Amino acid sequence: MNDYHRYVRAGKFEEMWKECDDPWNEKGECYEASPCSIATKYLIRAQDQVTTCSLGSGLGRHLDWLNVSGCGVELSETAYRTAAFLYPWLTFEHANIVNFMRTNTMAFPNFLFREILWYILPDWAEVVDILKTKHQGALAIVELSFYDNQKYGLDYFNGPDDFIAKWPFTIEKIVREHTTKQQREGRLMIAGRVP
Ligand SMILES: C[S@@+](CC[C@H](N)C(=O)[O-])C[C@H]1O[C@@H](n2cnc3c(N)ncnc32)[C@H](O)[C@@H]1O
């Protein structure tokens, strides 16, 4: 059973991870085939400080693939426990992103939001404020997929162009993976410094 959308729509991520074995095909995803993910890895590893905080880290496979020290933050206890079991050399926190950002006192040089923005839209403005208040100079990276027939979230970000226009940090890198001629569907990667 892998119909995870009804759980996502209801914000029931713990129930989803209990019911669905691998909702986003995380176990089978080929990061090397994604220019966005390759750019993320390159940007982080090209720096002196590679420690990365991955918000909404799922089963932790992508954070491990980056091959850096890091901390994953995950809302679902099931996903958090699985990640901590699979990757004991990384650190994982069982927390809601916005609560973690409010209380965290560690100065991470890199913050990664990979395929998570649609799920934290009402909290994004506060997360941005916290980054600007507590983490100036950090590298913020978002990877996010958009869809031609998408309905959800358009009042916040009406496609990749709008997301780029509203990007609240400096721009160091933009990568776009277009999967249709409309140049809307596909994954976007955008990265920049927190001013
Ligand atoms: C699409 S998965 C992405 C996982 C990972 N970042 C990746 O790219 O492979 C989104 C994850 O974010 C988690 N999540 C959703 N809302 C969250 C929140 N408010 N705080 C922390 N994690 C959240 C979900 O449980 C899920 O594991």
What was the pLDDT predicted at 91? 97
pLDDT at 6: 87
With a 6 A CB cut-off, is 60 part of the ligand 1 pocket?
Answer: no
Q: Which atom of ligand 1 is nearest to the CA of 54?
A: 6
Q: Give the long-range contacts of residues 19-28, CB within 8 A, separation 24 or more.
A: 22/59, 24/58, 24/115, 26/58, 26/59, 26/61, 26/62, 27/59, 27/61
pLDDT at 159: 97
Q: How far apart are CA 69 and CA 167, in angstroms?
A: 26
Stated pTM of the model: 0.97
- 75-83: Cβ within 8 A, 24+ apart: 75/13, 75/14, 76/13, 76/14, 76/16, 76/17, 77/14, 78/14, 78/17, 78/18, 79/13, 79/17, 82/17, 83/57, 83/58, 83/59
Domain boundaries of the chain, sorted by first residue: 31-193
pLDDT digits (tens, 9 = 90+) for 72-94: 999 999 999 999 999 999 999 99
Kindly give the parts of the chain with pLDDT less than 50. 1
Which residues on neighbouring strands pair with residue 158, listed in sequence order? Answer: none
Ligand 1 pocket test target in 75, 111, 142 with most atoms within 8 Å of CB:
75
What is d(CA 13, CA 78) in angstroms, rounded to the nearest whole number?
A: 9
Q: Is 82 in the pocket of ligand 1 (CB under 6 A)?
A: no
Q: How far is the CA of 117 from the centre of ligand 1 (A)?
A: 9
Distance of CA 111 from the midpoint of ligand 1 (Å): 14
The partner residues of 55 in beta bridges, in order of sequence, read 73
Q: Which atom of ligand 1 is nearest to the CA of 116?
A: 10
pLDDT of residue 3: 75
**Does ligand 1 have an atom closer than 6 angstroms to the CB of 96?**
yes
**CA-nearest residue, atom 1 of ligand 1:** 115
- Which pLDDT score is estimated for 165? 98
Say which CATH architecture domain 31-193 belongs to: 3-Layer(aba) Sandwich (3.40)
